[in-house]
Structure formats: structure tokens, C-alpha cells
């Protein structure tokens, strides 16, 4: 595997010839479909197939996998142009393996809303241990506020990804409520009603675990929040389900602020089966332009987390998005637009600018002038910034990573994942 940064004069053909791979392989692994041209400063992942199989009459994904002693899911990971149950064409070339196979097995989770594009989802599912569907809320009476999730659950099983139900404080109006969360934490009868409803839905629909996502918990609810987690986890375990808790990105036990104070890393880490560190949103919609997940900031959180929580329980949060800010930034006025990482490259290409890479943040960015005459700056993720996060997973021996979120395509991320780790499958 090689990461190639596009230089002036580079073309798809010249890069393919340099590394001895096909142009189609580079396009596929980097999501370059429809891109008008390569962008100077753009990072490309170059995968070099070691074994290629040419499809013969009557062969299927399953028969080819059996021929080489691997699973169909691994073939899907190594051939992102394939989706499950697609008929293969005679003469089609299937990559069996690459030079340099991954050694370490990790767990990978991904979050998505029910309205996710099904094509995007089917290209992500082969790489997931768990697939968390966002998300259920609850009423003041303990009834669940459901989502349209059965089709996604069924798809997850087709790709051997475990479907996980997410519970949060989202209300009937679609907003998050600290008051609603507080009510749950401090009313044992309401807790048990909600938990019983969760168990019914999970058994009926085929969920395999629960993700608990309560953010901005009031400090006065810290202890009752822990008691709720203990109660929910105990009942989930009694019914054969596992529990993940999402944690704000803390760097110390004394860290002040509504986002952090009620998230007691040590206590929650002792209760939950796994935790997700929400290591993103340093650059955010209303904040000043900066990387979404600067590597030094992420490292600080992980360094603290491993002193409080067993490392084999920790999932590193990985952002699958960037932001586009209009300049100059004005606090309280400027509102950045969320964009996909693949789309960020398209913006750079269409505006003829060079992509830069911040060596400290380990994140790419660029500036451009829009047609309305206003200057913009875009921070996003690419294969280099994701590699930095994967390196942290390896360095600290973490359980794996979790993507917020899967709603946008990010081809080179999945290509890098397939070459860095072996994804654990539990279904």
C-alpha cells in the first residue's frame, strides 16, 4: 500500500503506470468517479493486487471465495465495485488479496440514520463489526419513539454486521432534551418501562446490542446517570445483549463543562462492555475554522482514556465528514456547512485550487473563492488523516474504531481499513 500525493503534471494514467496498477483500481479505491481531474495536493491510496481471479462461466461470489479459502465478505472488502448478490460477469477481474495483508483484528462500528443511501450503506457494511442505527427516543410515559429500521437490520445481517439499537434523549419533536434524560435517570419505574420496551423491540427486530448516547448530562444527574447505566446493562446482559456507551472527549477527570462533567470515564468504563470516544467536533458548525479531529487533540483524549478504562473496551471515534466555512469567520454569525470528504475533493477540483496538509493537525484543508466573491476554507479528512487515527488504535492497543457517520461515501477510508486491519465479525 502506498499513499501518493498528487503533484503538478500527474495524471491518472501516469500514476497507474508508476505503480503498476490499473486506472480503474485507483478510481475505485479513491472514489474518483465523475471527478473532472486530479487535484494537486490530493492524497490517493494505491493498492497493489497480489492475486487476481478472472471470472469463469457459472462462478459466483461464494464459489470464488471457497476456491481461495476466504469469505465472501472479504471479497466484498477487496472489491468495492461489488455488492452482495450481484451477478458476476464472465471475464470480470476479482482481487483476491493484496501485497501486505493486515495482521491485527479490530472491531469497527458505524452509525447511520434510517434514510441513508442504500448503495453507500452496502459498500460500508462489509467493513463493520457493528452497525448502529440512530436512533430511538422515549416519551415521558416510557413508550419508545421508533424509527424505520427493519430494512437496515436485514441488510446488516446480509453483510455479517451486528445491528445495534441506539437510545438517546431525542423527543417526539426530534430535538435532544436534558430534561427528558434527567427524568429517566431519576425515575426507576420509568427506567424499567423503557428498558422493557427496548428488550421487546430488540428481540422482535433482531438487534444484538444497545448503544446508549446521552450527551450534555446535567452535573447533578451524574450519579443517577450511572445508576441508570448499571440497571440497563444488567438487564441487557440478563437477556444476552451487550452495551456500548458514547463518551464525550475528555482529557482529565476534572474537565469542566456540561458536555464532560457527568461522563465519569472510570465508572462508565467499569459498567459498559465497550465505550466510544467521540473524538471529533473540535472544528464544528459554529466554531472557528479548524480540523474536525486534530490528531494531537485526539491523542490527548486517548492518553487519558486508557488510564481510566481497559483499552480492550475503547473504540476510537472517527469523523466521516468535513466543514466548509465562509470567511472571514465571525463568532455567532458564521455557520459552517457539513460536507462529505469525497465532495471536498470535488470542490477543490472545480475551483482549481491546491489541497494543503496541516502537519500538526494531520488534516487536509484548502481555501477557494466562491462565485459570489466570498472566500471559503474547507477542512476535511483524507487517507492521511485517517491513517493517523488508525495508528493511534494500534499504538494504544484499542478495541477498534467507530465512524460518525456512514451517511456520506469515503472510498479511500475503506480501502485503507482493508489494508490496515482485519475486521472482526460476530454474526
Predicted pLDDT at 34: 86
Give me 69's grid cell: 479459502
Is the separation of the CB atoms in 210 and 222 below 8 Å?
Answer: no
Q: What is the mean pLDDT of each run of 10 residues along the chain (427 residues)?
A: 98 97 96 92 97 97 97 96 88 94 92 98 98 98 96 98 98 92 98 99 99 92 97 99 98 80 93 98 98 99 98 99 98 97 97 98 98 96 99 99 98 97 96
Total Cβ atoms within 10 A of residue 14: 11
- Show me where the domains of the chain are located: 2-98, 105-318+386-422
Q: Active-site residue among 92, 215, 230, 367?
A: 215
CA–CA dist 16, 26 (Å, integer): 7
Phi, psi of 14 (to 5 degrees): -65, -35
Predicted pLDDT at 49: 94
> 206: which strand partners?
none
Total Cβ atoms within 10 A of residue 222: 15
- CA nearest neighbour of 142 among 102, 185, 195: 195
Predicted pLDDT at 254: 82
CATH code matching the domain that covers 105-318+386-422, chosen among 3.40.1710.10, 3.40.50.1370, 3.20.20.80, 2.30.30.40 = 3.20.20.80
Predicted pLDDT at 268: 98
Please name the fold of domain 2-98: Membrane-bound Lytic Murein Transglycosylase D; Chain A (3.10.350)
Radius of gyration of the chain, Cα coordinates, nearest whole angstrom:
22
Predicted pLDDT at 422: 96
Predicted pLDDT at 25: 95
Full-model pTM:
0.96
Catalytic annotation present for 215: yes
Predicted pLDDT at 253: 86
Is the separation of the CB atoms in 341 and 301 below 8 Å?
Answer: no
Amino acid at each position: 500500500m502506498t499513499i501518493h500525493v498528487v503533484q503538478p503534471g500527474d495524471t491518472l494514467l501516469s500514476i497507474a503506470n508508476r505503480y503498476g496498477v490499473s486506472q480503474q483500481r485507483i478510481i475505485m479505491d479513491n472514489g474518483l468517479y465523475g471527478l473532472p481531474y486530479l487535484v494537486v495536493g490530493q492524497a490517493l491510496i494505491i493498492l497493489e493486487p497480489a492475486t487476481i481471479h478472472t471470472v469463469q462461466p457459472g462462478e459466483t461470489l461464494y464459489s470464488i471465495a471457497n476456491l481461495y479459502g476466504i469469505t465472501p465478505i472479504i471479497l466484498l472488502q477487496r472489491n468495492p465495485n461489488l455488492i452482495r448478490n450481484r451477478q458476476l460477469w464472465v471475464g470480470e477481474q476479482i482481487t483476491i488479496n493484496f501485497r501486505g495483508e493486515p495482521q491485527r483484528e479490530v472491531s469497527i462500528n458505524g452509525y447511520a440514520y434510517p434514510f441513508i443511501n442504500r448503495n453507500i450503506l452496502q459498500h460500508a457494511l462489509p467493513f463493520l463489526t457493528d452497525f448502529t442505527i440512530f436512533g430511538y427516543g422515549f416519551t415521558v410515559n416510557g413508550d419508545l419513539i421508533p424509527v424505520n429500521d427493519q430494512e437496515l437490520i436485514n441488510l446488516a445481517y446480509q453483510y455479517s454486521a451486528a445491528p445495534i439499537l441506539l437510545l438517546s434523549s431525542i423527543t417526539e419533536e426530534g430535538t435532544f432534551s436534558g430534561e427528558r434524560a434527567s427524568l429517566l435517570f431519576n425515575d426507576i419505574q420509568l427506567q424499567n418501562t423503557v428498558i422493557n420496551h427496548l428488550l421487546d423491540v430488540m428481540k422482535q427486530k433482531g438487534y444484538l446490542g444497545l448503544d446508549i448516547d446521552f450527551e450534555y448530562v446535567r452535573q447533578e444527574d451524574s450519579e443517577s446517570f450511572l445508576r441508570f447505566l448499571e440497571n440497563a446493562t444488567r438487564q441487557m446482559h440478563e437477556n444476552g445483549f451487550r452495551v456500548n456507551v458514547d463518551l464525550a472527549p475528555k482529557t482529565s477527570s476534572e474537565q469542566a463543562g456540561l458536555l464532560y462533567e457527568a461522563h465519569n470515564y472510570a465508572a462508565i468504563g467499569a459498567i459498559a462492555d465497550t465505550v466510544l470516544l467521540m473524538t471529533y467536533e473540535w472544528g464544528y458548525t459554529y466554531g472557528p475554522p479548524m480540523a474536525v479531529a486534530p490528531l494531537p487533540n485526539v491523542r490527548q483524549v486517548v492518553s487519558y482514556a486508557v488510564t481510566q478504562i481497559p483499552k480492550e473496551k475503547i473504540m476510537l471515534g472517527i469523523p466521516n465528514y468535513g466543514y466548509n466555512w465562509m470567511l472571514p469567520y465571525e463568532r455567532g454569525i458564521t455557520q459552517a456547512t457539513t460536507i462529505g470528504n469525497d465532495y471536498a475533493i470535488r470542490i477543490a477540483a472545480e475551483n482549481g485550487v491546491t489541497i494543503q496538509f496541516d502537519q500538526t493537525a494531520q488534516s487536509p484543508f484548502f481555501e477557494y473563492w466562491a462565485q459570489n466573491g466570498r472566500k471559503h476554507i474547507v477542512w476535511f479528512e483524507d487517507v492521511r488523516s485517517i491513517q493517523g487515527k488508525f495508528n493511534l488504535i494500534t499504538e494504544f492497543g484499542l478495541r477498534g474504531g467507530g465512524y460518525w457517520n456512514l451517511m456520506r461515501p469515503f472510498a479511500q477510508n475503506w480501502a485503507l481499513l482493508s489494508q490496515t486491519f482485519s475486521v472482526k465479525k460476530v454474526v
